[in-house]
Amino acid sequence: MQAGGFPRRGGVCRVTRADGPRIRTIAAVPSLSDLGQLPKRLVLGRPVRSDRAGESLLPKRLALPIFASDPLSSVAYATQEILIVLTLAGTAFLYLAPWLAAVVVVLLVTVVLSYRQVVHAYPSGGGDYEVAMKNHGQFAGLVVASALLTDYVLTVAVSVSAGTDNIISAFPSLNSHRVLIAVGLVALLAAANLRGVRESGRAFAVPTYLFISGILVMIVTGLVRYFLTDGGLTAESSGYSVTPEPEYTQMAGLALIFFALRAFASGCTALTGVEAIANGVPAFRPPKSRNAATTLALMGGIAATMFVGVTALALLADVKYVEHPCDLNGFADCETEPQRTVIAQLAAAVFGGNGSIGFYLIQAATALVLILAANTAFNGFPLLGSVLAQDRFMPRQLHTRGDKLVYSNGILLLAGFAALLIVAFEADVSRLIQLYIIGVFTSFSIGQWGMVRHWNREMRTADPAERGRMRRSQIINAVGGSMTTAVLLIIVVTKFTHGAWLVLLAMPVLFVLMKAIYKHYCHVSDQLQPDSDSRTLPSKVHAVVLVSKVHKPTLRALAFARATRPDALTALTVNVDDAETRTLQAQWDRYDIPVPLTVLESPYREITRPVLDYVKGIRRDSPRELVVVFVPQYVVGHWWENVLHNQSALRLRARLQFQPGVMITTVPWQLESSVGHDDDGRGSGPAPGDLRRGYTDDQADVTPYG
């Protein structure tokens, strides 16, 4: 033993004096030498202490790629989604694209301004859920929560599938491995996020900023080529014609309006992820609200600029993009080759074909940022899950932080559901996108109208100077609520038959599930409230020791039971074999054990049922009597040994725990194979019975406890 301390395996002991008795403080130190923890440490790295949580807070330069990668990356497919719908009618209605894009930009700016009010008013991280819960009540809050949870799962599935599309656009031979690539990318993202917010932020910052700079350079270069050079700007699909779908050939009046609204609804995918910053305010450095609002403004400005630029280039380069590649007249390999994405066609047109460095840089940056766009959901989903768990609408495990101070269970849950969606829809963006944005616009709408109520309440008690500022904020939120509600109705009507009904079905299921979880937690809480009965001492304590053989575990259990000084002590065995029972009784007498052995007859060779009936009989005869059942159990060191032992003990414990007024005490006996398999995996301490038998090991690091 070293001076001033008590060395202990798996921990550090410090001894201090402070005008009083000696105080020993044991601070746990995680071990990296345990081979069982090695795979976990390779993925997660070293665990982070709870008191270092402040060090994981994000500056704006890291918060932007973490929380805004989804809306920024939407630039890569928002224009494409508008073109897919418009080309259903051939090329006749492509003139609508710039007008639809302009409305999307106006909507984006309005929503960003609206959420700047949210992050100042509700900086705790609940976002639209907290706004709805406090201003509309529980029903609206759970509707928002179910909408956001659904949208986060879809964000991961759509973003990763879109990123996989761009990888395949650069390397078409990978098309047959689409689903495998997408699922692998989800697993990689989950692993990166499990390593912590700051670490994932550093990893994701470079691709996001590379994508932003690459797209802006492509836009400027493309515009220069189109307006200032003779080479022009021509996409590879510009020479193709489009075969219109028969039902879209003769459109006018309401049919044309409905068609345009459907294209607009598809373009609204550019707004997905805007709400994530409002949910992630606690992750920002102080002043949290101001930094979050600044990040929102930066995100909105960059996203709007890139979206307008990409849409303009696509129209100037005469890009054609259709839902079914064989509708492109002139695309010879439509049956075997995937259609190039809009971004890929623009990069090839601007930078000079497939072999150029610029083309591959844009494709690499786009694929990376689309994949990393899922990171917005990997941050938003666990944070929202934690808030819901704290409010008892989700399992408490979602509120637990992992080794790296992130909500690990939420990350794993999100990854699992997203992978299932990808497999179910074969990583097809066109099919997944139909399910998208309903959830996010539901939360947009309810949240903005909740903010209108919030300002009404605040203005009642505010001074005149503050009231003017609040009125301006209320007007912004009212305009945002009106626009997002209108868009939500458009999306539901235009996308319902194209797959949106699945989301409208999933949201009520989640709603009912959260209500059921809340009801369960409330019911449990009510049952656990202390009352007079819970403070009443039992009239007597009856100890029952289960006996199978006369061996060390049984004798230890009897000794422990006697040490508790119960009012009554019964050694209990079940007769399932007459010969073995007679042998047991003979050994009991030979060892002169000072407790009578009670034998229960079991004509059907059951063990559990006779014990249960005996315990129930004690409780029936004396309801205020506490029954303590001592269960001897082997502790083994290998998983396969558990198959050979402990089955009777496990079954008995499982049944006894449902009996009122019964306590179960497991008395472990460590077999030799368990030595060295303690909780830190390093085998501290002597083997069972060594000290009693006088055996010592000078080399063993034995912890003194007295």
User: Residues for the chain: how many in total?
Assistant: 706
Mean pLDDT of 570-579: 90
What pLDDT, on the 0 to 100 scale, is given for residue 128? 86
Residue with tokens 């949240």: 447
Residue 560 corresponds to which amino acid? F
Note whether 505 and 580 are same-domain residues.
no
In a domain, 512, yes or no: yes
Cβ neighbours of residue 353 under 8 Å, at least 6 residues apart?
Answer: 359
Q: Which of 521, 556, 573 is the last residue of a domain?
A: 521
SS3 605: coil
Note whether 445 and 562 are same-domain residues.
no
Task: Round to whole Å and give the CA distance between 205 and 199.
Answer: 10
Task: Round to whole Å and give the CA distance between 119 and 473.
Answer: 12
In a domain, 667, yes or no: yes
Mean pLDDT of 98-108: 91
Using alpha carbons only, give the angle 266, 267, 268 rounded to the nearest 5 degrees.
90
What pLDDT, on the 0 to 100 scale, is given for residue 356? 80
Which whole-number Å values give the CA distances from 162 to 29, 314, 368, 467, in the listed order? 43, 18, 10, 46
Asked if pLDDT for residue 28 goes beyond 80, the answer is: no
Q: What are phi and psi of 683, to 5 degrees?
A: 65, 40
Choice among 15-29, 249-263, 431-445 with the minimum mean pLDDT: 15-29
In a domain, 27, yes or no: no
What pLDDT, on the 0 to 100 scale, is given for residue 704? 31
pLDDT (tens digit per residue) in 618-667: 988 888 889 999 998 877 767 666 666 556 777 888 888 888 889 998 88
Note whether 441 and 548 are same-domain residues.
no
Note whether 543 and 489 are same-domain residues.
no
Packing angle, helices 138-170 and 178-194, rounded to 10: 120
Task: Round to whole Å and give the CA distance between 591 and 634.
Answer: 22
What pLDDT, on the 0 to 100 scale, is given for residue 268? 85
Note whether 546 and 510 are same-domain residues.
no
- Among 319-323, 429-433, 452-456, 495-499, name the most confident range: 452-456
Instruction: Determine how β-strand 241-242 pairs with β-strand 568-575.
Output: unpaired
Task: Round to whole Å and give the CA distance between 261 and 99.
Answer: 11
Cα R_g (the chain), whole angstroms: 33
Max alpha carbon distance in the chain (Å)? 110
In a domain, 33, yes or no: no
pTM assigned to the model: 0.70
Sign of the dihedral through C-alpha 607, 609, 610, 611: positive
- Among 194-203, 275-284, 668-677, name the most confident range: 275-284
What pLDDT, on the 0 to 100 scale, is given for residue 1? 41
Residue with tokens 């949210």: 118
pLDDT (tens digit per residue) in 127-177: 888 899 999 999 999 999 998 898 889 888 888 888 888 788 778 888 888
Q: Decide: residue 53, CB within 10 A, 0-12 exposed, 13-18 middle, 19+ buried.
A: exposed
In a domain, 37, yes or no: no
pLDDT band at 384 (very low <50, low <70, confident <90, very high): confident
Q: Which of 490, 521, 552 is the last residue of a domain?
A: 521
Asked if pLDDT for residue 188 goes beyond 50, the answer is: yes
Note whether 517 and 592 are same-domain residues.
no
Cβ neighbours of residue 259 under 8 Å, at least 6 residues apart?
Answer: 85, 88, 89, 93, 248, 251
Mean pLDDT of 453-473: 87
Task: Round to whole Å and give the CA distance between 471 and 477.
Answer: 10
Q: Are 656 and 612 in contact (CB under 8 A)?
A: yes
In a domain, 2, yes or no: no
Residue from 405, 67, 52 nearest 205 by CA: 67
What pLDDT, on the 0 to 100 scale, is given for residue 599? 92
CATH number (domain holding residue 544): 3.40.50
Cβ neighbours of residue 589 under 8 Å, at least 6 residues apart?
Answer: none
CATH number (domain holding residue 205): 1.20.1740.10
Task: Round to whole Å and give the CA distance between 400 and 503.
Answer: 28
Asked if pLDDT for residue 60 goes beyond 70, the answer is: yes
pLDDT band at 700 (very low <50, low <70, confident <90, very high): very low
Note whether 437 and 555 are same-domain residues.
no
In a domain, 699, yes or no: no
Asked if pLDDT for residue 30 goes beyond 90, the answer is: no
Asked if pLDDT for residue 269 goes beyond 70, the answer is: yes
pLDDT band at 510 (very low <50, low <70, confident <90, very high): very high
Packing angle, helices 608-621 and 647-656, rounded to 10: 30
Range 110-143 burial, b when 16+ CB lie within 10 A, else e: bbbbbbbbbbebbbebbbbbbbbbbbbeeebbbb
Note whether 502 and 581 are same-domain residues.
no
Q: Are 245 and 323 in contact (CB under 8 A)?
A: no
Note whether 548 and 444 are same-domain residues.
no
SS3 369: helix
In a domain, 35, yes or no: no
Which whole-number Å values give the CA distances from 380 to 208, 406, 437, 503, in the listed order? 18, 12, 15, 19
Neighbours of 275 (CB within 10 A): 30
Residue 154 corresponds to which amino acid? L
Mean pLDDT of 320-341: 76
What pLDDT, on the 0 to 100 scale, is given for residue 683? 45
Note whether 465 and 600 are same-domain residues.
no
Residue 548 corresponds to which amino acid? S
Task: Round to whole Å and give the CA distance between 534 and 531.
Answer: 6
Task: Round to whole Å and give the CA distance between 40 and 42.
Answer: 5
What pLDDT, on the 0 to 100 scale, is given for residue 420? 93
pLDDT band at 453 (very low <50, low <70, confident <90, very high): very high
Asked if pLDDT for residue 536 goes beyond 50, the answer is: yes
Task: Round to whole Å and give the CA distance between 623 and 333.
Answer: 82
Note whether 150 and 283 are same-domain residues.
yes
The number of folded domains in the chain is 2
Note whether 430 and 481 are same-domain residues.
yes
Residue with tokens 């009443």: 536
Q: Which domain holds residue 633?
A: 539-674
DSSP 284: B
Can you name the residues that pair with 541 across neighbouring β-strands?
Answer: 626
Mean pLDDT of 304-315: 92
Q: Decide: residue 173, CB within 10 A, 0-12 exposed, 13-18 middle, 19+ buried.
A: exposed
Residue from 127, 115, 440, 466 nearest 293 by CA: 115
Q: Which of 493, 521, 549 is the last residue of a domain?
A: 521
Task: Round to whole Å and give the CA distance between 549 and 552.
Answer: 9
Which whole-number Å values give the CA distances from 498 to 324, 435, 615, 706, in the listed order? 15, 8, 61, 72
pLDDT (tens digit per residue) in 387-399: 898 888 998 888 8
pLDDT band at 674 (very low <50, low <70, confident <90, very high): low
Task: Round to whole Å and give the CA distance between 166 and 373.
Answer: 14
Task: Round to whole Å and give the CA distance between 639 and 27.
Answer: 30
Task: Round to whole Å and give the CA distance between 377 and 149.
Answer: 9
What pLDDT, on the 0 to 100 scale, is given for residue 511? 94
